[in-house]
Amino acid sequence: MEWLLQASTVRKTLQASIALQLATLATSYAIWVYEGCDPFMPWISDLDTNPVSGVPFTLGFSVSGLLIIVLSWQYYRLRADWILSHPGVSRLGLLNLVSALLAALAGAFTIWIAFTPWSEQLALHLVQAKVIFGGLGLWAILSAVMASDMASLDSRFEVVYRARRLRTVFMLACASLLGLSVLQYTAASFLDPVHFESYLEMVGVCTDLSIPAMSRAALFEWGMVLGLIAVVETGLHEASLLTSDE
């Protein structure tokens, strides 16, 4: 199993995960539009409600979730080995463990949500989405903190930290704007299914997503997800540094 921890293998796994997530989003959205649905602006999960665009959505995100789980283990092991050889920041071990568990949990729920369209099980779907975005959001924050601590022990990680910090801030900004847009529409608690009834009926038809606040919220969700993918991309450089590959 040691070959899974080689720098080239870790980078290829990460590249495959990023490419698959982007391809899944692009393909599902393109099919959604081709099927005559309103292009501006579906939530990502809306793409799974259409029988045609739901196919690449389910396939792509189920495999993506599996890759996230694999990556969580790979980076946990690489970081753990690096931490043992670079003592000096006592909290790094705990941060590494917690971040790996959060990523693995998000990966498992990504597989699960790929088979749980909100149009069939809304309450469950919303719980799954909260776990995924909450878990990956915390993972991104912890990953940035770890990169900062690692940079204090090895200046080469400063490049990783700067990129990760900026991308995490962008992701959090999109998440905040998403919440504000939803609250503007519902004027009630965040992601309360009761206040989404009329909107959900509209998405079921899919040809007219004419509620501006919800369209903006969906756009910010896409921004948040792309921000998370951008944070993940910083792991390419980190893998090289962790294995002294450069």
Q: Which of 186, 187, 184 is nearest to 198 (CA)?
A: 186
DSSP conformational letter for 41: -
pLDDT of residue 189: 43
Report the SS3 class of residue 115.
coil
Separation CA 74–CA 137 (nearest Å): 19
Task: Give the per-residue pLDDT at 196.
Answer: 60
Quick check: bond before 41 cis, omega within 30? yes
Q: Are the CB atoms for 136 and 104 separated by under 8 Å?
A: no
Report how far residue 177's alpha carbon sits from residue 174's, in angstroms, rounded to the nearest whole number.
5
Global pTM value: 0.92
Task: Note down pLDDT in tens along the chain; length 246 residues.
Answer: 778 889 899 999 999 999 999 999 999 999 999 999 989 989 999 999 999 999 999 999 999 999 999 999 999 999 999 999 999 899 999 999 999 999 999 999 999 999 999 888 988 999 999 999 999 999 999 999 999 999 999 999 999 999 999 999 999 999 999 989 888 777 644 455 555 666 667 776 676 777 788 889 999 999 999 999 999 999 999 999 998 744
Q: Determine contact, residues 65/114, Cβ cutoff 8 Å.
A: yes
